């Protein structure tokens, strides 16, 4: 287990709902409360916030604290965006206040609050996110926030949005995962067909040996994921390598070690030792079919993990005041410039105009 480091941390209790003033990433940041004293003020805070009884890492950045607030829900689970957020989304800070959160069991939250033998659950993590959203509305003086989740974060986002709709202007799902039964089956079948068409005997053999899901062996998901990455790379534009260089403060030996350990822990929690992890209980068409807010799904046309066909069936079947499905050419499951730009454009066209009404 990596050491917790020398950050000095203040706790945030729910009643106070104020971010702690702490020394973080090696820089001491004295933060006044509230964050948004007057429109036009920039906000740049980072620290540990108590959510669900444990300290969790949150960053809040924006050029004008009166701008709409976006709460990002990272994928994985165990793949926090906070080390890469400036590279991917930094340009958005002039129009939005951006909130990154290292979820329970991931990144800096894993380093500060290691879960030990405590299992992750969708319900517990959704409750953490709802608590954070409520804190943000009080801290930033807004009525609601925009919820944006990708991959695993899109599963979590659906649960949060349907549980506490009064906290959210809209739900934006990116690379939306829908179902334990549907997604892996569609992914396996599609990649296997592509490998056969390409006379790729190695991949055909590997996927045929696995057989169609569901699986008990947790390694099987990793074998399929390597194949999806290889085939997405043939048709989706790559992301700049600079995107995946951790920002200063996240690139130390200690930070990298806790990130890797958190990723390993969260992955096993997700798939389970016998196919019985978090993912095995995901069935969004049954669990979350009605939304009280607009729903926008942004999906890569070349996504082989959460195939567009499965996501499209889901959005077609839900009830929502407004629902939009955006298919992005030359984009796969993971972020690339086309997918990130499509998110920005979807927000500008389908979400932001409604905020002033």
Q: Cα separation of 335 and 341, whole Å?
A: 10
So what's the pLDDT on residue 357?
A: 65
For residues 284 and 155, is the Cβ–Cβ distance under 8 A? yes
Domain that holds residue 305: 22-179+236-355
pLDDT for position 39: 84
* Contact partners, residue 179, CB within 8 Å, separation at least 6: 282, 283, 284, 285, 310, 314
% of the chain surpassing 90 pLDDT: 87
Stated pTM of the model? 0.90
Residue 12 counted as domain residue: no
Do 240 and 190 have their domain in common? no
Are residues 32 and 84 both part of a single domain? Answer: yes
pLDDT at residue 17, rounded to an integer:
34
Task: Kindly report, residue by residue over 98-153, the tens digit of the pLDDT.
Answer: 999 999 999 999 999 999 888 999 999 999 999 999 999 999 999 999 999 999 99
pLDDT at 313 over 50: yes
- Separation of alpha carbons 231 and 109, rounded Å: 33
Question: How high is the mean pLDDT of the chain?
Answer: 91
**Sign of CA pseudo-dihedral 247, 249, 254, 259:** negative
Check whether residue 217 and residue 110 sit in a common domain.
no
3-state secondary structure string across 304-336: CCCCHHHHHHHHHHCECCCEEEEEECCCCCCCC
Determine, yes or no, domain membership for 53: yes
pLDDT score, position 3: 34
Same-domain pairing of 314 and 223: no
Q: What b/e sequence results for 28-42 when a residue is b if at least 16 CB atoms lie within 10 Å of its CB, and e otherwise?
A: eeebeeebbeeeeee
Does residue 58 fall inside a structural domain?
Answer: yes
| CA separation for the pair 118, 209 (Å, rounded) | 33
For residue 327, is it within any domain? Answer: yes
Residue 35's pLDDT is: 75
Write down the pLDDT at residue 117: 81
Residues 172 and 226 in one domain: no
Q: What's the token pair of residue 218?
A: 């947790």
| pLDDT for position 268 | 95
Residue 324, domain member (yes or no):
yes
Residue 40's pLDDT is 87
Tell whether 96 and 191 lie within a shared domain.
no
Enclosing H/E stretch for 170: strand 168-174
Same domain, yes or no, for 80 and 142? yes
Instruction: Assess whether 266 and 345 both reside in one domain.
Output: yes
Comparing 9 with 272, the larger pLDDT belongs to 272
In degrees to the nearest 10, what's the CA dihedral of 24, 27, 32, 33? -20
**15 found inside a domain:** no
Residue pair 36/8 in contact by the 8 Å Cβ criterion: no
- Check whether residue 44 and residue 170 sit in a common domain: yes
**How would residue 5 be classed by pLDDT, with cut points 50, 70 and 90?**
very low
Q: Is residue 6 part of a domain?
A: no
Rounded CA gap, 146 and 149, in Å?
Answer: 10
* 211 and 263, same domain (yes or no): no
Asked whether the beta carbons of 302 and 331 are under 8 A apart, the reply is: yes
d(CA 193, CA 208): 11
Angle, vertex CA 20, rays to CA 19 and CA 24, nearest 5: 115
Greatest Cα-to-Cα distance within the chain, rounded to the nearest angstrom? 62
47 and 106 belong to one structural domain = yes
Residues 230-258, mean pLDDT to the nearest whole number: 97
- Please give the DSSP secondary-structure letter assigned to residue 288: -
Q: CATH number of the domain that 266 lies in?
A: 3.40.50.1820
Q: Does residue 216 share a domain with residue 128? A: no
- pLDDT confidence of residue 33: 58
- What is the pLDDT, as a whole number, of residue 112? 97
Write out pLDDT tens, residues 27-78.
333 333 577 878 889 999 999 999 999 999 999 999 999 999 999 999 999 9
What stretches of 21-91 show up as alpha helix (H) in DSSP?
A: 85-89
Phi/psi at 252 (5° precision): -80, 165
CA 97 – CA 80 distance, rounded (Å): 18
If one counts the domains in the chain, the total is: 2
pLDDT value at residue 254: 97
* Structural domain includes residue 197: yes
């Amino acid at each position: 287990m990596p050491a917790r480091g020398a950050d000095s941390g203040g706790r945030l209790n729910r009643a106070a709902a104020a971010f702690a003033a702490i020394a973080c990433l090696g820089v001491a940041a004295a933060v006044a409360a509230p964050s948004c004293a007057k429109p036009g003020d920039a906000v740049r805070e980072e620290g540990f916030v108590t959510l669900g009884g444990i300290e969790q890492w949150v960053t809040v950045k924006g050029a004008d604290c009166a701008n709409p607030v976006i709460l990002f829900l990272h994928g994985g689970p165990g793949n926090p965006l906070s080390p890469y957020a400036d590279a991917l989304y930094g340009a958005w800070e002039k129009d939005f206040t951006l909130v990154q959160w290292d979820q329970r069991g991931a990144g800096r939250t894993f380093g500060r609050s290691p879960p030990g033998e405590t299992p992750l659950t969708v319900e517990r993590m959704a409750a953490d996110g709802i608590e954070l959203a409520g804190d943000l509305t009080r801290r930033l003086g807004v009525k609601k926030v925009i919820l944006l989740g990708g991959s695993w974060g899109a599963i979590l986002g659906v649960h949060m949005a349907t549980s506490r709709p009064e906290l959210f202007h809209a739900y934006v799902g990116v690379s939306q995962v829908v179902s334990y039964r549907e997604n892996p089956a569609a992914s396996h079948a599609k990649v296997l067909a592509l490998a056969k068409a390409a006379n790729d005997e190695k991949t055909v053999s590997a996927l045929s040996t696995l057989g169609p899901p569901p699986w008990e062996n947790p390694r099987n998901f990793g074998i399929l994921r390597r194949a999806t990455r290889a085939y997405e790379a043939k048709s989706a534009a790559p992301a700049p390598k600079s995107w995946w260089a951790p920002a200063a403060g996240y690139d130390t030996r200690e930070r990298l070690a806790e990130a890797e350990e958190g990723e390993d822990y969260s992955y096993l929690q997700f798939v389970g030792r016998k196919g019985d992890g978090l993912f095995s209980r995901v069935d969004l068409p049954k669990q979350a079919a009605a939304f009280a807010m607009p729903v926008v799904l942004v999906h890569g046309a070349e996504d082989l993990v959460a195939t567009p066909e499965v996501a499209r069936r889901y959005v077609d079947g839900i009830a929502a005041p407004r629902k939009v499905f955006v298919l992005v050419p030359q984009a796969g499951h993971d972020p690339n410039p086309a997918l990130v730009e499509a998110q920005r454009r979807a927000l500008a066209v389908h979400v932001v105009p409604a905020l002033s009404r």
